[in-house]
Structure 1
Amino acid sequence: MIANAALAQDRQLILVGNLIPDAATGPVGPATLVVIDGKIVEVTTQREIDKAGVADAMEADAVINLRDKTVMPGLIDLHVHLTGDPGGDFWKEATEPAEWGVVVGAKNALLTAKAGFTTVREAGSSQYSAFSLRRGTADGIIPGPRIIAAGPALAIVGGHGDVSGFTEDINKVLTSGYSCTGAVQCAEKVRKASRAGSDVIKITATGGVLSQQGRGLEAQFTNEEMRSIADTAHSLGLKVMAHAHGARGIEAASRAGIDTIEHGTFADEAALKVMKTNGTAMVPTLMAFQGVSEGLGKGIYTPVVEEKIRMTLGNVGKAVTSAKRLGVPIVFGTDAGVFDHGRNAEEFQLMVNAGLTPREAITSATTAAAKALDMDMEIGRIAVGYSADLIAFDGNPLDDVTVLEKVDWVMVRGRVID
């Protein structure tokens, strides 16, 4: 539930033990924050703490005492699936109504926010379920993070993201209506997604691990189709995120003008150099592979999927190491929904294991992720005028990123999440 939701409109004073305004700044010690109408309106550090703290506390509608905690900006996950839980993907299209995704999504939105993630990019859902969640969290009806929603992903007919694994008559009934063939039809589907309410366009540029289509993980859209998608989306002011595993599919997506590569599992030096040249960011989703590996041999996945999982596991993290070396932007995303929601912060240690410093890993989930969303003047740091998206915990994540796996207090848009 949302505690004291009405206080989003009042003057809240937050007493901070150790403030980290952003990853670049690092800890600055004790501070006070004033929040009004969901926005940060004052940030007072140690120099003024003695004079400002008591007086402000007397004038505040609410005082939140976090003197024994570290406080930093809320985290951003650029790849989640709030409307789904792990396992059973093959059958869900045939057994669960789309409305059930909103029920599941409400549960997962709360878990995600309580884990410290105050903004997420919903990377594929049924037609309106993520849009309903987006509105619910924005209005404070559903406790959860700010949601940037893609809606259904664009896919090739029979490819990853389209329905497959059933007989053709069943596939036809269950299809999302967003598969396309040819540049003209793909442009039409982008416009359809925009009309329906998508904040970002999601495409499946290559084959995928968890779909029933077992024909590999390389490019599925043609170059012309991907260019049409990127150009059309950009003309509408929308960015494009591309699920992509195989190196040549990654390279083609970047050349086409796609904004972010999701997963990037088999990205080689040639693909990464194209990404560097085009400014295409990588969203590694290392936790996705952690999650699927935990499900192997338990009857969760079909033999087709298990074979693809085993094929990818030996490469997890290698592309991240190479991307850092070549200067490719790396931004935070987990693919939560493939694993249990609420575990998102476990991605940080996996990124560090792949070669990022703690500061780089935290930047990827704050200022860098905000920039990828074109929201870097609203979220990703603690500063006057920014959204009051805050988390509190013990310790210093710049020394040990695992402290972010246990967040004690969360505020989203000025609302405290319980």
Structure 2
Amino acid sequence: MKALLLALPLLGLSAPAAAETILAGNLITDAASDPMGPATIVVEEGRIVSITRGIDRTATGADVIDLSDKTVLPGLIDTHVHLTGDPGGDFWKEAVEPAEWGVVVGVKNAAKTVRAGFTTVRDVGSSEESAFVLRRGTAEGLIEGPRILASGPALSIVGGHGDVSGFTPEVNLLLDPGFTCTGAVECAEKVRLASQNGSDVIKITATGGVLSQQGRGLGAHFSQEEMRSIVDTAHSLGLKVAAHAHGARGIEAAARAGIDSVEHGTFADEAALTVMKEKGTYMVPTLLAFRGISEGLGQGVYTPVVEQKIRMTLDQVGKAMSGAKRLGVPIAFGTDAGVFAHGRNAEEFEMMVDAGMTPREALASATTVAARLLDMESQIGRIAPGYSADIIAVDGNPLEDARALQNVDWVMVRGKVMQ
């Protein structure tokens, strides 16, 4: 797999100049702040050095980037993607496609994602080392893409969502990536194994899932003791835990155990959201995932058992997020890109607004709030001196119209312009 990465060509990256000057027509430094109007940003060695009001056309940097007709703002953050996967297809293909194929798919999707304005993503579920290889490739500038934080394979219960299923027992065993666990001791061991392998975050499947082949619903999976073991072990290693969770009691149990973020949260009720609020648990709603998967209904894309689960969730989309906002649960932007086509990520903003957020709150969810979830609030999520030069440009004002973020005209990641 590593040899495959080294053989990949450079894809449309311009190396950061010694100094770059960006002329912004209207600068939004932070989702909480009003636009400051025309401004000049100086970038050196991948970091923002200074911001001054007004457009300084006398700047003599190594490269002057004229965005004087654009709104310039921080690069966006998607905290729930699957770069190595594409939507649809036959579930059994995982039995015949090599893990290396995920790197090829991931290179394509990383480029689509960054060109859509997402300069940091958290990949929460991939085969073996594929997302780790992509992480290195974008960090070293070998491939075009966002900054990547990756979990690697998710931890799951035997026979649950995230475990291999749908084949004969012999094939299930052969495809098992080795991250199922039973009991507190074994679950702690698997967290340590994930850490050893290079995980930036621990992903678990705390409830059943919509797209897995089991027809047993979306209820809780891990025991409370198992989840507490996972959380305590991860936190002792400096890692956060993200829990895929749909059913209300599984969401409540995950939050009570100290899980850092609930992914999806589809059927979260008042009791579950109250515990999330008390524990400071983030919700990552992934509303766009359901729009994406609904587009494949009735077309032979999904097996009958999966179609049934999809249909039972569609009328719930957005309700839990609305309840979370009302109670003050922190909401971080995440889409589940991979169950729909990568590059569409920004459609999530419009859905969040439809579910009750203001455009400003939606933008914050993908900048400052997401950065806090990732423990990167001093590095990304705003345009400020010392921060990584992750910057995008659009037409219009996304603080007033979230749809403006669906058409990103210019992207810089770590001081590198995506050509």
Q: Report 1:290-301 matches (<5 A).
A: 290-301=291-302
Equivalent residue number for residue 19 of structure 1: 27
1:387 aligns with 2:396: no
Question: SS where residue 43 of structure 1 aligns?
Answer: strand
Counterpart AA for 1:31: A
Q: Does residue 1:121 correspond to 2:122, yes or no?
A: yes
Find the counterpart in structure 2 of residue 303 from structure 1.
304
Map residues 259-278 of structure 1 onto 2, 5 A cutoff.
Answer: 259-278=260-279
Shift of 1:9: 4.3
**Which residue of structure 1 aligns with residue 40 of structure 2?**
32
Tell me what 1:342 maps to. Answer: 343
State the distance in 2 between where 1:399 and 1:375 align: 26
Distance apart, 1:5 and its partner CA: 2.4
CA distance in 1 between counterparts of 2:89 and 2:275 reads: 36
**1:162-219: per-residue Cα shift (whole Å, max 9, x none)?**
0001110000000110001100000000000000000000000000000001101010
- Deviation of 1:3 (Å): 4.8
Match of 1:307, SS state, is helix
Residues in 2 aligned to 1:214 and 1:174: alpha-carbon distance in whole angstroms: 20
Output the TM-score relative to the length of structure 1: 0.97
**How many residues of Structure 1 are paired with residues of Structure 2 in the alignment?**
410
Equivalence for 2:164: 163
- Pick one of 8, 14, 32 that aligns with 1:5: 14
Q: Give the aligned partner of residue 68 of structure 1.
A: 69
Task: For 1:177, give the aligned amino acid.
Answer: G
* Preserved CA contact (<8 Å) 1:202 1:241: yes
Query: Secondary structure of 1:408's match?
Result: strand
- 2:232 maps to 1:223: no
> In structure 1, the residue corresponding to 2:350 is in which secondary structure?
helix
Query: Partners of 1:202 and 1:80 in 2: how far apart?
Result: 12
Identity rate of aligned residues, in percent? 72
Counterparts of 1:357-376 in structure 2 under 5 Å? 357-376=358-377
Runs of 4+ in 1 over 3 A off after TM superposition: 1-4
Q: Distance in 2 between matches of 1:336 and 1:54?
A: 40
Instruction: Tell whether the 8 Å contact from 2:12 to 2:144 is kept in structure 1 after alignment.
Output: no
Contact 1:3 1:415 in 2 (8 A): no
2:347 maps to amino acid: E
TM-score w.r.t. length of structure 2: 0.97
Measure how far apart 1:92 and its partner are.
2.6
1:55-94 aligned within 5 A:
55=58, 57-58=59-60, 60-88=61-89, 90-94=91-95
Q: Deviations over 1:339-364 (max 9, x none)?
A: 00000000001000100111110000
Residue 414 of structure 1 and its aligned partner are, at CA, apart by 0.5
Gaps of 5+ in 2: 1-9
Match of 2:57 in 1: 54
The one-letter code of the counterpart of 1:372 is L
Say what the alpha-carbon RMSD is for the aligned residues: 0.9
Q: State the alpha-carbon separation in 1 of the partners of residues 379 and 163 from structure 2.
A: 35
CA separation of 1:394/1:187 partners in 2, compared to 1, >3 Å: closer, same or farther?
A: same
1:112–1:341 Cα contact (<8 Å) kept: yes
CA contact (8 A) 2:394 2:408 kept: yes
Asked whether the equivalents of residues 2 and 417 of structure 1 are also in contact (C-alpha less than 8 Å), the reply is no
Show the counterpart of 2:418.
417
- In structure 1, what is the Cα distance between the partners aligned to 2:375 and 2:100? 30
Q: 1:2: how far off?
A: 5.3
Match in the other structure for 1:404: 405
Distance in 2 of aligned mates of 1:3 and 1:10: 19
